[in-house]
Each structure stands twice: as structure tokens, then as C-alpha cells.
Structure 1
């Protein structure tokens, strides 16, 4: 039986979810995964209102998955280590994730590409999920990225 892992990051929905759709289309079994990253707390993203909002979003995501016969797996720790652990536990050969535009997301993707083969899986990054143009494809003259200050 073919198994794929979907790593949910910022797009916590089941309706019209291209990453989840790709995993369902390409595998017989899908493991939906969210990793509570202690790095987010260290970066100052652990305010009580954000924790409450995330808890509500994860509960809604789990409800939507259960309505479709699945359930959300939630782990805590380093995201790459946890993804590799779930891959080994499930026998998954593919991991799907939405491409991110932040430096943090790029580093996570780079680490996943490096470490997943040892766990027996490959990474598929779905670039068109958060932007109309893949991150890094367009940049201002003389720069490698756009910077926005408010």
C-alpha cells in the first residue's frame, strides 16, 4: 500500500487544498500531520491569542478530516525530525508540503530534502499554494528578493 504524509504548515483547511489533493491522488493512504514547532515560540509567535487561534484551526482541520474518514496527527518538536519519524512509522514514501516564502520555510524545505531520503521518502513542494508565482521567480533588479516594510 502506498502512503504519503501531508505536512500542514499555514494552510489549515481541507476544502480546495491542493497539497492534500495531490497526496490523496498519489497514494492509497494519507497521513495528515501538523508539528507544533518550539522554534515558533522562541521567535515570539506564542502569544495566548495566537495559541487559541491555532487550537481552533487545528480542531476545525481535524473535524474536516474526520468527516472524510481521516484524522489529524499532531506532534511537537523539530518539524524535520518529526516528519522523518512519521515517515518511518507509517512507511510513507512521499511527503507533500505547501511551499513557503519565508527564509524559515525555505530552510525547512532544504532540510526535508536532505533528511527525507534517509527515512525512505521524497519531498514534493507545492509552490502555487500561497502565491501566484513560485517564490523567488521574480525579484527586483539587483536583489534576490522583495522586502516590504510597513
Structure 2
């Protein structure tokens, strides 16, 4: 495999990032990508303080990538269309993404998977990136939630967590 795209969403970090690690392990080059999603913007999350915080986070992520030989690609628009454009430009084989639990994220993931598969490319979704355990793991039998904290805490305490991943030493990106 030559090139993979890593789509950063709410997980704007280099350390403990399974999608980034999987992409680096499976490809010679990686395109780190963040898309300012029109769907998120129009949902009312475009307050000035949120935009400033996001800009700071993206600057920090880009600086960390540059220290390792890479850089962050930032696009704006429809997430699926923008990811597909970057995939085509880089001639990438696959996209790596952190799983999310919202209905919007699930619809976006489904649309992205369909678009990539229609072009002969693959989407890899990695769990336990933005949460410590996969959704649904800490639920009681016969219900979708705990009503009392102590049983929840006991169940939660019995879960094994994955080991955190270190930040990569090097990130090779395609020219251009």
C-alpha cells in the first residue's frame, strides 16, 4: 500500500491515536486531513470561541506533524466530497477515521464508506479513540443504561483498557 489518508475529527492529537498509527503502519505515506465540515458549521457550532479553540488545536496538530516531517491538510466544505477529493489527489488506497457515537457521525461515516467503496477504496473506522471503551460495553443486561452509579462503577472498573500509543517519530507525506 502506498498512501493512506487519516481523517482527524474531534481527536486532534498525535499521541494515542489508533487511526494515525494504523495508517503509518500500513502505508509508505500518509495524508493527515481535517475537514471543516459544513454540516457541523450549520448546526450552530460556529461560535467565535469554538472557532478560535479549533484554530489553536489545528495549529498545534500541524506543528507536531511538521516536527515529524509531515503537515496537516485542511479543507472546508462537505466532508464526504472533500475527503474524496483528497483521496483522489493523493491516489490513496484507504482512509482511517476514529469512530464516533452521534447519529450525525454515523450518517457521515456511512456516506463516506459508500463513496469510497464506489471508487474502489476502503474506510477503516477505529474504536476507543475518543472513548475509553467501545459504545455499549458498559451497559447492564436487559437495559440500555445503569440507573444507579455503584453497579455502573463496578462494571466500568472491570473493563480492560487498551494501552495508550505514543506519538509517531516520523510522518511521511506525499509531495504536493
What SS does structure 2 have at the residue aligned with 1:129?
coil
Contact preservation (8 Å) 2:38, 2:79 = no
- After the TM superposition, list the runs of 4 or more consecutive aligned residues in structure 1 that deviate by more than 6 angstroms: none
CA distances 1:9-61 after superposition (whole Å, capped 9, x unpaired): 00101122221111101100000000011211211100000000000000000
Deviation string 1:58-113 (CA, Å, 9 cap, x unpaired) is 00000000001010000111111111111111111110000001111111111111
Question: Which structure's CA Rg is the greater one?
Answer: 2
Residues of 2 paired with 1:86 and 1:113: CA distance?
A: 15
Conserved in 2, the CA contact under 8 Å of 1:7 and 1:97? yes
Match of 1:75 in 2: 75
TM-superposed CA distance for 1:131, in Å, is: 2.2
Higher relative contact order (CA 8 A, sep 6+): 2
Work out whether residues 97 and 125 of structure 2, in 8 Å CA contact, stay in contact via their aligned partners in 1: yes
* 5+ residue gaps, structure 2: 147-176
- Give TM-score scaled by structure 2 length: 0.76
What's the C-alpha RMSD, in Å, of the aligned pairs? 1.8
Count of residues paired in the alignment: 145
The SS at the match of 2:132 is coil
Pairs within 5 Å for 1:123-142: 123-136=123-136, 141=142
Q: Structure 1 length as normaliser, TM-score?
A: 0.89
